[in-house]
Amino acid sequence: MLLKTFGWSFAVTVVGLGLAGVLWGWQGLAIVGILSILEISLSFDNAVINAGILRKMNAFWQKIFLTVGILIAVFGMRLVFPVIIVAITAKLGPIEAVQLAINDKAHYQELVTSAHPAIAAFGGIFLLMIFLDFIFEDRDYKWLSWIEKPLARIGKLDTLSVIVALVVLLVSAVTVAPHAAHGGGDKTTTVLLSGVAGLITYLIVGGISGYFEGRLEDGDEDEEAEDGAKPAAAEKKGSGTGAAVGLAGKAAFFMFLYLEVIDASFSFDGVISSFAITNDIFEMALGLGIGAMYIRSLTVFLVRKGTLDDYVYLEHGAHYAIGALGVILLVTIRYEIHEVITGLIGVVLIALSFGSSVLRNRREGKPGAESSAQSEVTSGV
């Protein structure tokens, strides 16, 4: 199981580190290794969120996520995206931007860093929306019930998450944007436009994927009703996996797009933080790419092991980490926050939610190391 899931990650690590050693020597090898660890530490919560979405897809789309998705993550977000940002910011052609990244690394780093307010506003609002939609939804399992119960009650207002996100964006625009640490000058307009773009992107991609998922669920329920299989449908719905398991077609495609946008938002802080280690785009892409590969393998591992069904508070911890990351991205428009702090916040929140899940399983007599099916048998469900 472990080798089957992480086999490609191990292979990519060996090849990547070997290539780094050949091209850049021991120093390059060390840089690529550090970048890999940085990416994993910053994106562990991303794996938990991805697993919650990926388990709804069928095996084909899970493979697409691990193959096509990793190409987009490595070459798209870790290599091409910074170049596109430079091309837009400096008003250069794609070829000129690539030449700049190769021949004038210091200026390239300066241009990417100057675009940080726009990147942070887009990614921050997008991630904040993921957190708000989660925390305002009434869920069967509540981790911090003293917070989640009242928020679920007021969350019955459908537009509340959008309102809160817009308020946070306006506060950011009048507090941190006028004194941006990067790019110089007042970035209020940039932050507002980028934040609104992040919000619109979330609403479009998330809305379309949710629409097709809902249609698929309705279609499944209608078919089961026609076949006289209502009891089976009820049992399936109560199993915790949901009727959307095995999403395919348009629903899976838009869910895949949603996953890629989430990954892009998570990669922003990793790309920006990596400039503190190197300004070589190829070292950056290789190191962050290795880390991204492990995140994807971890996502698949969580899905196949049914970990989110066994440890029911893990998704809560990951979403709290997402909310923290969204706020941190907005704060970094003006203030420098070390990537170690960002990574530790996510790790601590997920660790706490995991510990709470273990304690819950013990109280209910569920062995945490078992699969969800085994847990149900043991607990008499």
Per-residue pLDDT tens for 76-92? 777 787 788 778 777 77
Per-residue pLDDT tens for 155-178? 888 788 999 999 999 999 999 888
Per-residue pLDDT tens for 312-334? 888 888 889 888 888 988 998 88
What pLDDT is attached to residue 193? 93
Which residues constitute the domain of residue 286? 2-379
The better pLDDT of the pair 213, 254 is held by 254
What pLDDT is attached to residue 215? 64
The contacts of residue 273 (CB under 8 Å, 6+ apart) are 38, 42, 339, 342
Per-residue pLDDT tens for 23-44? 888 888 888 888 888 777 777 7
Provide the domain count of the chain. 1
Per-residue pLDDT tens for 216-247? 565 555 555 555 544 444 444 333 333 344 66
Cβ neighbourhood burial of 6 (10 Å; 0-12, 13-18, 19+): middle
Beta bridge partners of 247: 57
Residue 61 in contact with residue 248, Cβ under 8 Å? yes
If you search the block for the tokens 């049992």, which residue do you land on? 235
Supply the pTM of this predicted model.
Answer: 0.74
What pLDDT is attached to residue 192? 94
What pLDDT is attached to residue 235? 42
What pLDDT is attached to residue 195? 92
State mean pLDDT over 103-125: 84
